[in-house]
């Protein structure tokens, strides 16, 4: 094992796949000359040159479309958005072309493309730069959605995403790029659609993904001091979602809390709640609790932002609620 920052794990994953397969290239704003807006492509221009590491204008619809079109000529593009808030400009290419071209061509044209970049809030970036769209993309048939929470998962999942023959939405976080963690040496992949049992426990299951899962870790540490044993599941992949891992855990703990940085209406937690109550109703000893942001645009004020975001205290309170404490 070696210790890498999250951004370094992203660089390694892309670089290793570009060495392995000449059809892979990276395109996006500031990915080349500037080494990436968050230094998540550092050194790649020097190694692979301007034909495979391509700077673009501020034109998400344009370069998303170029990427989708290039898959039809045998390429495997990685399209970087500076944030997924800006992907809204190019979402027509993602939803109406990337997600549908395999079916609409009768299987003649797979679309092996990765759209990657940061999602959700990252401090005082205000309403239009603090949005989480995981559930939007997961709602669209034809797309896979990946949200890693640590460097090792980021590398293994990104390599799998690049090798996948379908479009993958790969969502990171500005606030995780500096996170450090142990990463296996050598070539490895993590299959899409397989959750990780991040912490084993017996009293309650907590499900989360992405950077907000750190709040679940803090809550579990605090609750352990009170004798409450939490099992934490990191979904890692939102679509396909590993329902079986959650079902198995809930059948053991009989209680479920879901933590997700997203608006509360119609999100990933909502889908998971429905599935668990439909398939494990008799195992539940309490109603499922889901924890989300407030149902408003993200505020700029740091005081209001702290109220808007879920935190470990919310998790502690929800766990105690399902335990009737």
Break the chain down into helix, strand, coil percent, rounded to 5.
Answer: 40, 20, 40
Q: How far apart are CA 305 and CA 294, in angstroms?
A: 10
Find how far residue 237's CA is from the centre of its chain.
Answer: 7
Of the candidates 289, 314, 310, 290, the one whose C-alpha atom is nearest the C-alpha of residue 298 is 310
Catalytic amino acids? 60, 129
Sign of CA dihedral 285, 287, 288, 289: negative
Q: How far apart are CA 264 and CA 43, in angstroms?
A: 40
Strand partners, 101: none
How many residues appear in the chain? 325
Q: How far apart are CA 158 and CA 116, in angstroms?
A: 9
């Amino acid at each position: 094992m070696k210790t890498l920052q999250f951004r370094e794990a992203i660089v390694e994953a892309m670089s290793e796949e570009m060495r392995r397969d000449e059809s892979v290239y990276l395109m996006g704003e500031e990915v080349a000359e500037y080494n990436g807006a968050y230094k998540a492509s550092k050194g790649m221009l020097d190694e692979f040159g301007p034909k495979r590491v391509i700077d673009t204008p501020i034109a998400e619809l344009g370069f998303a479309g170029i990427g989708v079109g290039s898959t039809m000529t045998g390429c495997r593009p990685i399209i970087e958005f500076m944030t997924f808030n800006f992907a809204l400009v190019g979402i027509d290419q993602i939803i109406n072309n990337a997600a549908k071209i395999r079916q609409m061509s009768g299987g003649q044209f797979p679309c092996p493309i990765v759209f990657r970049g940061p999602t959700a809030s990252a401090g005082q970036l205000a309403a239009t730069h603090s949005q989480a769209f995981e559930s939007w993309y997961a709602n669209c048939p034809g797309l896979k959605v990946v949200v890693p929470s640590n460097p090792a998962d980021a590398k293994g999942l990104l390599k799998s995403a690049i090798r996948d023959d379908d479009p993958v939405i790969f969502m990171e976080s500005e606030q995780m790029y500096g996170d450090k963690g142990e990463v296996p040496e050598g070539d490895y992949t993590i299959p899409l659609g397989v959750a990780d049992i991040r912490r084993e426990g017996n009293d309650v299951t907590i499900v989360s993904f992405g950077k907000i899962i750190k709040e679940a870790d803090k809550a579990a540490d605090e609750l352990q001091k009170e004798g409450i044993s939490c099992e934490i599941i990191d979904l890692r992949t939102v679509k396909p979602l590993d329902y079986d891992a959650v079902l198995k855990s809930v059948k053991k703990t009989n209680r479920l809390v879901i933590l997700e940085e997203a608006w509360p209406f119609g999100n990933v937690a909502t889908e998971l709640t429905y599935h668990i109550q439909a398939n494990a109703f008799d195992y539940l000893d309490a109603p499922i609790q889901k924890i989300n942001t407030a149902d408003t645009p993200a505020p700029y004020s740091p005081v209001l932002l702290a109220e808007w975001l879920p935190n470990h205290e919310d998790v502690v309170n929800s766990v105690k609620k399902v335990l009737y404490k």
